[in-house]
């Protein structure tokens, strides 16, 4: 069913308004909020990402390329949501309007929303997502969008086979995104090398429950 011009205009205006709220909130990041989030949840997130990557590598060695690329994509999506979006949003001074938008667009559990938000958030820290490259010289975001996520979806929903090459690229992309998350947090919090304030397994909490 098609929508009217008025409805299309209203939708476009709403999206522009939401984008403006995001940009304004990112200008008022609370470093204490980010640090508190990472101290509570950092260990659990890091452990989850490392386990996903290890599973991807182990499955790749066993020539189980479909399950391997699923694990790589899970690693990337956990990294985006919990190691980049959540801590940065946790540090924002939330107005009622922003809190409602945050609930709808970030905490909805939809990975596609996270992917749409990430480039603009990184840009606010002077990081252009398409400038982040793999060792091959290809932009990691382009590889993820045009190959890895598509291959994962076709495998998971249609049973399409995944090639050895795509499985290997998935692991490389997931590894690069983990490093990107670290770089973003270092820049946001002005950490020095090794100065990561993650909680321990004993004292930390899990954001996945």
pLDDT tens digits, residue range 68-77? 999 999 999 9
pLDDT of residue 81: 87
**Residues 60/165, Cβ–Cβ less than 8 Å:** no
pLDDT of residue 42: 87
d(CA 26, CA 30): 9
pLDDT of residue 25: 60
Rg (CA), the chain: 18
Q: What is the pLDDT of residues 41-51, one digit of tens each?
A: 888 999 999 99
pLDDT of residue 199: 57
The vertex-73 CA angle with 68 and 75, nearest 5°, equals: 95
Q: Which domains does the chain have, with CATH numbers?
A: 17-189 (1.20.120)
**Residues 67/59, Cβ–Cβ less than 8 Å:** yes
Residues of the chain short of pLDDT 50, as ranges, are: 93-96, 99, 192-193
């Amino acid at each position: 069913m098609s929508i009217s011009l008025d409805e299309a205009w209203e939708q476009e205006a709403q999206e522009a308004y939401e984008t403006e709220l995001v940009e304004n909130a990112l200008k008022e990041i609370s470093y204490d909020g980010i640090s508190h989030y990472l101290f509570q949840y950092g260990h659990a997130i890091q452990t989850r990402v490392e386990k996903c990557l290890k599973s991807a590598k182990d499955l790749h060695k066993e020539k189980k390329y479909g399950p391997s690329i699923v694990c790589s994509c899970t690693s990337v999506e956990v990294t985006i949501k919990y190691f980049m979006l959540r801590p940065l949003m946790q540090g924002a001074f939330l107005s009622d309007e922003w809190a409602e938008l945050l609930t709808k667009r970030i905490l909805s559990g939809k990975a596609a929303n996270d992917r749409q938000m990430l480039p603009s958030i990184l840009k606010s820290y002077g990081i252009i997502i398409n400038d982040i490259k793999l060792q091959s010289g290809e932009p990691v975001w382009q590889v993820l969008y045009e190959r890895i996520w598509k291959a994962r979806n076709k495998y998971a929903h249609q049973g399409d086979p995944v090639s050895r090459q795509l499985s290997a690229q998935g692991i490389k992309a997931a590894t690069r995104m983990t490093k990107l998350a670290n770089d973003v947090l270092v820049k946001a919090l002005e950490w020095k090398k090794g100065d990561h304030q993650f909680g321990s397994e004993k004292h930390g909490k899990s954001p996945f429950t």
